[in-house]
Amino acid sequence: MTTSPNTKSADGDCSELAESRRKEAKRRSLRPVNEHFSSTINAESANSKQSLVKNSKGQNSRQTKATSQPHDSASTHVSGLSEYVDDRPEMQNELHCAVIYSTEAHARILSIDASECNTLDGFVDIITAADVHHNCWGPIFKDQPILAKDVVQYYGEIVAVVAAKTLAIAKLAAKRVKVCYEPLDCTMSIQEAISKRLFIGGERKIQRGDPYAKGPHQVTGKLIIQGADHFYLESNAVVVYPRENRLLEVHSSSQHPTETQHVVAEACGLAFSDVICIVKRLGGGFGGKESQAAPIAAYCALMAHKTNRPCRLILTKDDDMIITGKRNPFEIFYDCTFQDDGAIISLDAKLYSDAGAYADLSTAIMERAMLHCDNAYFIPNIFITGQVCKTNHHPHTAFRGFGGPKGVALIELIMEKIAIQISIDALNVRKRNMYRPSFDITHYGQRVENNMLPSLFESLEKECHYKARRKEISDWNRSHQSTIKGLSLTAVKFGISFTTRFLNQGNALVNIHRDGSVQVSTGAVEMGQGVNQRIATLVSSELGVPVDLVRMLSTSTERNANTSPTAASSGTDINGAAALKAIGLIKERLAKLAAILSKTPKEQWPSQTAGLGTAPEIELASPINPESKELKNKLDYECLFSDGQVIVRHHSSINTQPAFSIKFSDLVNEAYLSRISVCEYSHFKIENLGFNKITGQGQAFLYFTQGVAASEVEICRYTGDVKVRRVDILMDLGRPINEALDIGQVTGAFVQGMGWVTTENLVYNKKGLLLTHSPSTYKIPNIQDTPREFNVHLIDNDGNQANFKGTKAVGEPPLLLGISVWTAIQNALSSSPKHLQLEKIPATNEVILRAMHPDLGWTI
């Protein structure tokens, strides 16, 4: 548990209380060990981190800092003290809200009758579309009503919201609201939408070379990818407090506080400045709360605005799963030609996705799927088309990896099918096609800089003893009747940054207090991934102070406006860079002050004279501009911030005095007494992005996070049950900010991806009701499903110059390595000459069993 000292002694030293807190934090920061995993990382990088610290001349000096800090909320999580939205104390006059949603997939609303609610003691009010000031929203296309007005377009669409004095009465009132519908024609599948030409947006295309180039071999087929639920532990939740002068204070479980603020304001007929959205933390998001948390907040805000009373809306797990959209289902038709050695000649792929009833983020998801159809492989001739389909399902939305997993699943399936057709190892096919020197331009025209794929493939093949295990598995499959095994080694090359250019911006507010403690506020949302701890680590390293002196504040639109969602693996990139930029401005001022103090007798320092005004105030000679080369060249000193000290070294030929050192907290206090600001707000944008969405060409990403995974599975021939026996992962994360958190992200993302491709099966009835809307019917991985042997390593890579500090994002990329479990299942099935091709995700036990026994007349 990390704390910030709140008291100071007269001379600026931290109090004994603060010192004891830091010692306690150090004692508690031991990394827990779980014997179920054998996760390891490179020993050298685990023990130290080379972090760049700019001195006053803008030069880079290095300091070594430990990088495996615990999650900032680790101790409060395990002790039950972490505060989520629903943990906020209930106010005396607070109302509880409940939603009424459609029980038809597509129908005309004939009437909404709430007359029976009036007989309930404690029932307060109901809102419908008539109460919404601006009843239209959408993160890309404004096509979705906040509350359905005349027509409902999916089972679960909200038509009304009731409020009562207690939650029990609110739920009872919701059941008493009678809604009459006239059913309309439904579209419940991608194929139906294609036949009816029900599309959202136009068809997108990316092309290079001749996609119809012929070759000696060909694989064709259709890949079906079903949706998946985010299954965050905290369901969507919101509490709204009406404040004076029409102000609404919204506490929401949202990944995008700015969008939530805007949607709430428009729904209530308020200016954006009349709404404050605050997010302390989420109990998981995974993309499911990027856009769809906004209308849920609006339901509660509308009631609070109408009644002028605090309101609370907490969805149950069942209602949350029924109402909210999932990972987009896809159907992909492909035709690939290749050489005798497995080298791909051409790929023609047609991607169709199910958006559900409204656009949400589906067009952007389709775009990323198209951009990742190459994954780690150079394809000389390629033609990718993408079309988003409109159906009467809940609007599907962002999910960890966005559309990337769909494109990667396609090309990795093709690699397996090529290997089977020409009877060679699939790993050899992958290595033959991987990006390498002279073959490093993507189909959208971006060069793969800092390409680590060749070394990643080579290293993991050796470290996991791939060749020896391949032989052992072949022997096993020949000699065992009850189970078969499979092994597959796949890769990921995941583009980092939003492909919508204007989203690649962030801002940060940094306040340094007189005791040397620091408060940082950014647009990043902490949802368990550790973004707060990463940014705190960056800040502490840059200022040379202990990380427990850095307090990360809740995400709030009143401190950080117009921010982007915490998504696309860019939370640390854009917000951490903004924080460092703000700190750079503060450090320039402090460095100049330190240089002046080094030449000033201590009795003339502001701390000795400012109170009585006995000496002139220290003023900085000219405005400080950290980007000004002319100014830096004039400086005759350099300044180092390290270990709680600020050290000034003069290097002028005229000045020969020794290095000057002052405590960081003392320097901050001197700055305050000199009326020099030690607070700063800064804006950051990612440069050199230029992807043209019309032509499908350009610099789509700032850099690529890369990795490889080898997965071994064992399948029961009689039940189709899959056991993941061993997984080895090798990731390139550049120069990690915090290895411990990164390992956690890699393992967690992989297991989530593994669940997506194996057990997580969504089942709907004919009306579009999700039947698998609870933990008892929807199977996510548990501890028994995780790999029996799980090895995770991070490589050393100082070559990533694109991102600050040489780091690479980790949030989404490892999820795509979970596809290696699916391809390992493919590999196991291929040991049977009569098996069916497995071209479906998820590969549930039933699907696998049918693929193993086509002689029984089963179909997949």
Main-chain phi, psi angles of 824, to 5 degrees: -65, -35
44 is catalytic: no
Question: Alpha helix locations (H) across 332-393?
Answer: 362-371
At position 253, the amino acid (one-letter code) is: S
Helix H, strand E, coil C: the string for 720-786 is CCEEEEEEEEEEECECCCCHHHHHHHHHHHHHHHHHHHHCCCCCECCCCCECCCCCCCCCCCCCCCC
273 DSSP 8-state letter? G
Q: What pairing do the DSSP bridges indicate for beta strands 697-699 and 381-390?
A: unpaired
Whose tokens are 């940094």? That residue is 510
Main-chain phi, psi angles of 236, to 5 degrees: -55, 135
User: From CA 136, how far away is CA 694, in angstroms rounded?
Assistant: 26
| Burial (0-12, 13-18, 19+ Cβ within 10 Å), 557 | buried
> CB-based contacts of 349: which residues, under 8 Å, 6+ apart?
332, 333, 334, 335, 373, 382, 383, 384, 385, 410
Closest CA to 842 of 825, 828, 858: 825
User: From CA 792, how far away is CA 783, in angstroms rounded?
Assistant: 17
CA 486 distance to own-chain centroid: 31
Helix 426-433 and helix 404-422: axis angle, to 10°? 120
836 DSSP 8-state letter? P
Cβ atoms 627, 54 nearer than 8 A: no
Closest CA to 818 of 847, 850, 786, 844: 786
At position 557, the amino acid (one-letter code) is: T
Bridge partners of residue 359, in order along the sequence: none
Query: What is the three-class DSSP state of 315?
Result: coil
Cis peptide preceding 781, ω within 30 of 0: no
Query: What is the three-class DSSP state of 606?
Result: helix
Bridge partners of residue 335, in order along the sequence: 220, 348
Cβ atoms 489, 820 nearer than 8 A: yes
| Burial (0-12, 13-18, 19+ Cβ within 10 Å), 366 | buried
User: From CA 540, how far away is CA 517, in angstroms rounded?
Assistant: 10
Closest CA to 207 of 382, 447, 379: 382
User: From CA 408, how far away is CA 406, in angstroms rounded?
Assistant: 5
C-alpha dihedral (196, 201, 203, 205), degrees to nearest 10? -160
Give the helix/strand (H/E) hosting 297.
helix 293-307
User: From CA 418, how far away is CA 709, in angstroms rounded?
Assistant: 19
Residues in the chain: 860
Query: What is the three-class DSSP state of 790?
Result: strand
At position 379, the amino acid (one-letter code) is: I
| Burial (0-12, 13-18, 19+ Cβ within 10 Å), 479 | exposed
128, 145, 160, 183 from 267: Cα distances, Å:
12, 10, 14, 28
From 259, 638, 712, 812, the catalytic residue: 812
Residues annotated catalytic, as ranges = 812
